[in-house]
Amino acid sequence: AFIARFILGYLYYLIRSQERYESASDLIAPAMFFMGAAFVALVARIMLRTTRDLLRVSSLEEESATDPLTGLKNRRAFDQCWKVELARAKRFAIPLSLLVIDIDHFKDVNDSYGHAVGDQVLIKVGQLICSCLRVSDVAARYGGEEFAVIAPHTAPNMAALLAERLRAAVQRDACQALGQHAAERSITVSVGVAGVNDLALSGERMFESADEALYEAKRAGRNRVSMAGSVNAAPPAEFGMMLAKPAF
């Protein structure tokens, strides 16, 4: 707008001042300035349009990487982050852990209270998971009632502590999503934890290990954390004490 006003003002100046010019050569310098202003206006217009296009593309990319319900990353975006973090862990021999989280008896919630309430439970659990994570951690809704978390620079035993913290947070606060039915039942999650102990381990194998740990937590009674390779899933009351024991 400023450049447009400048050009219009300059044209007005040329028209009002044309009597003072004695020959066509006197108009060369003003004409050059005018063409320069027109060029700047054209460049500014192109830059503005390009900026808008880039913002639109960025917004579309963000939407394509985000779960529309919870606002967390979706599975495709999570898998991309996972490949990057796994490659970094292998290259620099740094710890990396994976958490797979599943809402216990979620089908019963949908059947009892409807999908609208079920959606609120998913949103609340996603918020509680994020509230327990560090800036470097990556959380996603991996599908249905299943969530996943990448914990970079985190050994499995420390990731298990993180898992227990978010399990406890969900048990404490997730029932708020049930609204008037909050007193009728609790909302809990089971968590499987796996870590990179073998640098040759594939990403698929780590997911399998975390899933196996999750299923062990389910078999052991749900609402608990299980580490890949552990014989039994630890119940919530015992989990902190188990992690506190020194390893010999």
Q: Specify the pLDDT at position 33.
A: 63
For residues 240 and 163, state if they share a domain.
yes
> Which is the catalytic residue, given 145, 146, 164, 184?
145
The mean-pLDDT minimum among 6-15, 94-103, 160-169 falls in: 6-15
For residues 135 and 213, state if they share a domain.
yes
Number of structural domains found in the chain: 2
Q: Specify the pLDDT at position 248.
A: 30
145 is catalytic: yes
70: in domain:
no
Residue 142 has pLDDT above 90, yes or no: yes
For residues 141 and 36, state if they share a domain.
no
Residues 6+ apart with CB under 8 A from 212: 192, 228
CATH code of residue 181: 3.30.70.270
Tokens at 175, concatenated: 């029932």
69: in domain:
no
On whether the CB atoms of residues 179 and 120 are closer than 8 A, the answer is yes
For residues 53 and 97, state if they share a domain.
no
Q: Specify the pLDDT at position 141.
A: 97
Domain that holds residue 165: 75-244
Beta bridge partners of 149: 99, 139
53: in domain:
yes
pLDDT in tens, 178-235: 999 998 999 999 999 998 765 556 778 889 999 999 999 999 999 999 999 643 444 5
Q: Specify the pLDDT at position 203.
A: 75
pLDDT in tens, 28-75: 656 666 676 677 777 777 888 887 767 776 555 565 789 999 999 999
pTM over 0.85: no
Q: Which has the higher per-residue pLDDT, 130 or 18?
A: 130
Residues 6+ apart with CB under 8 A from 192: 99, 100, 101, 209, 210, 211, 212, 213, 214, 215, 216, 217, 225, 226, 227, 228
